Amino acid sequence: MPEEVSKGNGNNGKKGGLLGHIREDLESLKTDLPAKAKEQVEILSKPTKTQVYTSIFRHKHDDTPRNRALGVLSNVFLHLHPAKINRDAVRYSYTWGMGGITFYLFFVLTLTGVLLMFYYHPSKVQAFRDVLYLEHDVPYGKLLRNMHRWAAHLMVIAVELHMFRVFLTGSYKKPREFNWTVGVILLVLTLLLSFTGYLLPDDQLGFWAVTVGTNMARATPLLGHEGPFGAQLGMTPYNDVRFGLLGGSIVDANALLRSYIWHCIGIPIIASVFMIVHFWRVRKDGGISGPAPVVLDSEIKEAKK
């Protein structure tokens, strides 16, 4: 071997040394390749043991209580849930599932909304044509728009039913008072989201609905030019709260753009923040309120004042 090394270092031996190396490499491949291939097949035959898999999934999946808990706790999308809940809390008749359905509809609306944004220009020239284009030329465009519209209406209904259920089960009571007020804000944001979207097709329906809606802002006390004490405070159609909402004194191009930005960016971001707080508070306030054991009137201890 030292001979070969000295050859390899010498000028003349360069070519022969290289050949020697190649021969040696090929020899080793003959034995290493089958061995490594066999090893590889063995590794791949157990995909859950691979480094890629174990780096993604941090725990085993055989059906043990520990893994059931980890399945929820080690998943960022599911970790909003606790590992275990009251056995009766999964009953549909108690929660009606309306809060979750509302969130799911928000998700559907985000998805369909982003897809619609690819085909829509918020300008007076383009907007209506874009909707026609969506309806007639874009593959599944009509389905997309329909789904966005109906999911929006369904979300309003789901939010109202959710609030109704929370009221009827007294779930706003201590310690959940604050989360109820966050929920009221989310209800308002849902209505505003739907309302700002109404104008976007730029058709008669949306135009007049938004005209009727924003005309109310004229009458805002103090801040609207037709509202009580508005004129006395110097409000005109060109500087009052309605002007600020529409970006003009009539529903026109600026109103369309403002509507679009509030609808696609502004309100979704605000609503997301409130949703984060809402969901987080559900957990922090001790999970969903029930179904709790009934309490008798005689068991209430009056707090001393």
Partner 1 sequence: MDWKQLWEILSAPDNVPIIAMIPLLAFYIYLAWKQAHANDLLIAELAADPALAKTHHRKTWPFRPGWQKEVHVWPFLLRVEFLAAIIVTIILMVWSITLNAPLEEPANPNLTMNPAKAPWYFLGLQEMLVYFDPWIAGVVMPTLIIIGLMVIPYIDTNPLGAGYYTWKQRKFAIGTFLFGFVILWVSMIFIGTFIRGPGWQWFWPGQTWDHNRLIYEVNRDLPDIFGITSNFWKGIFGAIVVGGYFIVGGLIVNGLFRRSNPKDYKRMSLLQYSLMMTFFLIMVALPIKILIRLLFHIKYVWITPWFNI
Binding to partner 1 (CB under 8 A): which residues in 31-50?
none
Among 13, 57, 126, 135, binds partner 1 (CB under 8 A): 135
Sole binder of partner 1 in the list 150, 236, 265, 280 (CB under 8 A): 150
Torsion of Cα atoms, 61 then 62 then 68 then 72, to 10°: 0
Q: Are 100 and 155 in contact (CB under 8 A)?
A: no
Q: Which range binds partner 1 by CB under 8 A, 33-41, 50-58, 157-165, 269-277?
A: 157-165
Compare residues 13 and 96 and give the one whose CB is closer to partner 1: 96
By CB under 8 A, tell whether 267 contacts partner 1: no
Residue 201: CB minimum distance to partner 1, A? 6
Is the CB of 14 or the CB of 91 nearer to partner 1? 91
Distances (CA, A) of 69 to 75, 191, 279, 283: 10, 37, 19, 16
Q: Which of 57, 180, 274, 279 touches partner 1 by CB under 8 A?
A: 180
To the nearest 10°, report the CA torsion of 223, 229, 232, 238: 30
Among 18, 33, 37, 78, binds partner 1 (CB under 8 A): 78
**With CB under 8 A as the contact rule, which of the stretches 15-23, 42-50, 168-176, 269-277 interacts with partner 1?**
168-176
Q: Are 161 and 96 in contact (CB under 8 A)?
A: yes
Taking the least distance from each CB to partner 1, the nearer of 14 and 58 is 58
Length of the chain: 305
Closest separation between CB of residue 151 and partner 1, Å?
A: 6
295 in contact with partner 1 (CB under 8 A): yes
Span 211-230, contacts to partner 1 by CB under 8 A = 211-213, 215-221, 224, 226-229
Distance CA 103, CA 89 (A): 18
Q: Restricting to residues 109-128, which ones interact with partner 1 according to CB under 8 A?
A: 128
Is residue 139 helix, strand or coil? coil
* Choice from 156, 245, 270, 275 touching partner 1 (CB under 8 A): 156
Residue 216 and residue 212: Cα distance in Å, rounded? Answer: 7
* Contact status: 275 vs partner 1 (CB under 8 A): no
Torsion of the alpha carbons at 89, 90, 91 and 97, rounded to the nearest 10 = 100
Residue range at the interface with partner 1 (CB under 8 A); choices 10-18, 23-31, 51-59, 164-172: 164-172
Structure tokens, 40? 């590889």
The reply on whether position 90 binds partner 1 by CB under 8 A is yes
Angle subtended at Cα 160 by Cα 213 and Cα 113, rounded to the nearest 5 degrees: 65
Q: CB of residue 268 vs partner 1: minimum separation in angstroms?
A: 18
| CA 239 centroid distance within chain | 36
Interaction of residue 139 with partner 1, rule CB under 8 A? no
Most distant CA pair in the chain, distance: 107
DSSP three-state, residue 288? coil
Tokens of 59: 């725990």
247 binds partner 1 (CB under 8 A): no
- 153 Cβ contact partners less than 8 Å away, ≥ 6 residues apart: 194
Site for partner 1 in 2-31 (CB under 8 A): none
# residues contacting partner 1 (CB under 8 A):
110
